[in-house]
């Protein structure tokens, strides 16, 4: 399992980065991105610390820890600048919190995140078909989420993304150890969403490609 969207106590997660990574390793993960919530108020604080802890953990453990962030509820006019700033600070995976149906995310966030060239648009909710086409053009991965509060729109997203040819990844948006999932659980979820074995393998391949690029 490769999970490119998780949270530690540097935002609203429950665990220290080291404990989250250790629990992921025990779960069978080969790589995990620590992508705590950021906006203009804390981006300079969070990312350097995640960069430091990931470097340290990677010197001791086989599982690859990847420093990242999730730009969350930011003014849409700031998203492009925040993506650039995150990368400059050392974030290897930049996620943007999409227009989930369970939170009052600013309309237009999905488009601006894709336009900014983030790596992953998280739980994008009832994303417009044109935005899915734009994500395909920009090479931005759209997230299938296992998080209960956001997964109501997974089936629609998968159906449209497969039809259009946009890239999909599966992440947990984990905030605690219990949120992490095994390969078997992830595969079962994709099967229930209607993906064939070949299509599911492609979803996992997309995560592997992002992780490999981040670790290079």
- DSSP character for 5? E
Please, are residues 124 and 98 in contact by the beta-carbon 8 Å criterion? yes
Helix axes 129-138, 109-116, angle to 10 degrees: 10
Residue 30, helix vs strand vs coil: coil
Report yes or no: 122 and 96 within 8 Å, Cβ to Cβ: yes
The residues of the chain scoring below 50 in pLDDT are: none
Tell me the β-bridge partners of 120: 95, 141
126 SS3 class = coil
Fold topology of 2-215: TIM Barrel (3.20.20)
The whole-angstrom separation of Cα 2 and Cα 157 is 20
| Model confidence, pTM | 0.98
At 187 the pLDDT is: 97
Query: What is the Cβ-side half-sphere exposure of residue 160, based on CA atoms within 13 angstroms?
Result: 21
- Residue 151 confidence (pLDDT): 92
User: For residue 90, what pLDDT is reported?
Assistant: 98
Give the C-alpha separation, 28 to 89, whole Å.
29
Please tell me the predicted confidence (pLDDT) of residue 41. 98
Q: At what angle do helices 79-89 and 43-58 cross, to 10 degrees?
A: 40
At 192 the pLDDT is: 97
pLDDT of residue 216: 87
Ordered by start, the domain boundaries in the chain are: 2-215
pLDDT value for 137: 98
């Amino acid at each position: 399992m490769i999970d490119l969207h998780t949270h530690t106590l540097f935002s609203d997660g429950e665990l220290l980065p080291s404990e989250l990574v250790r629990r992921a390793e025990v779960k069978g993960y080969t790589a995990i991105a620590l992508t705590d919530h950021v906006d203009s108020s804390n981006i300079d604080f969070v990312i350097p610390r995640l960069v430091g802890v990931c470097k340290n953990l990677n010197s001791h453990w086989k599982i690859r820890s990847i420093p990242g962030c999730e730009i969350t509820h930011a003014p849409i006019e700031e998203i492009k600048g925040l993506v650039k700033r995150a990368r400059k600070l050392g974030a290897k995976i930049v996620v943007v919190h999409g227009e989930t149906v369970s939170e009052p995310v600013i309309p237009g966030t999905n488009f601006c995140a894709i336009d900014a060239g983030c790596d992953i648009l998280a739980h994008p909710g009832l994303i417009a078909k044109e935005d899915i086409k734009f994500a395909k053009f920009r090479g931005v991965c759209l997230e299938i989420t296992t998080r209960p509060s956001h997964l109501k729109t997974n089936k629609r997203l998968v159906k449209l993304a497969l039809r259009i040819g946009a890239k999909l990844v599966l992440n947990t948006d984990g905030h605690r150890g219990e949120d992490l999932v095994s390969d078997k659980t992830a595969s079962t979820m994709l099967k229930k969403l209607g993906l064939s074995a070949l299509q599911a393998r492609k979803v996992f391949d997309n995560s592997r490609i992002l992780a490999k690029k981040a670790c290079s």
